[in-house]
Amino acid sequence: MSPQIIFLPQLVLGYVACLLCFRGYVLPRLKSMDRGNAQRAIATLHSFRFFGLAFILPGVVGPNLPVTFATFAAYGDFATGILAILALLTVRIRPLFWLFVVSFNLVGMADILFDYYHAIRGGLPALAGQLGVMYSITIIYVPMLMITHIAAIYWLLRPQGRAAQTASGKLVSS
C-alpha cells in the first residue's frame, strides 16, 4: 500500500478522533472555566510547539522531507510556541496576555494552514515516511492544535456575557 493511501485516511481519522475527544472531554471542561483560564489552558497546550523544530533536526526526519515544508513547519511551530509561552508569562498583565493569546492563535492557525499547503505542493503524503518520528505529531497532535485554535478564536470573537465580564473583572483585580 502506498504511503499516500495510508497517510491521508490517518490524517482525516486523526481529526475525527481529536474532535470526539475534544467534544467529549476537553470542551465541557473549557466551557466550565472563565474565558481567561480557558485561553490559558489552550496556551499551555500550544506552548509545547517549540518541539516542531525537530522537523529540521537531522536524524529525526528523513533527508528527503520537502525542505519548504520542514523549514516552514519548524519555525512556524517555534514562533507559535514562544507566543503561547509569552501569553502564559503575562497572564497577570491582561492587555499583554490577550495580545499574545490573539497572536499565538493567529500565527499558529496560519502556520498549520501553510504547512498543509506546503505539504501538498511538496508531495508530502507520498513521502510520509520521511517524517520519521514526527509522523505521529502530524497525525495526532496537529489536529488537536487546529481544533483548539478554532475554539480559541471562536471564544475571542464571541461576545462576552455580563456574568462572564464580572468574573473576568474579578480576575483582573486579583
Q: Which residues of the chain have pLDDT under 70?
A: 161-174
List, as one string, the DSSP characters of 40-52: HHHHHHHGGGGGG
pLDDT of residue 1: 85
pLDDT of residue 17: 98
pLDDT of residue 171: 47
The pTM for the full model equals 0.89
Distance CA 66, CA 124 (A): 7
pLDDT of residue 46: 98
Distance CA 145, CA 126 (A): 23
pLDDT of residue 158: 87
**Cβ partners under 8 Å of residue 68, min gap 6:** 118, 121, 122
Distance CA 17, CA 37 (A): 25
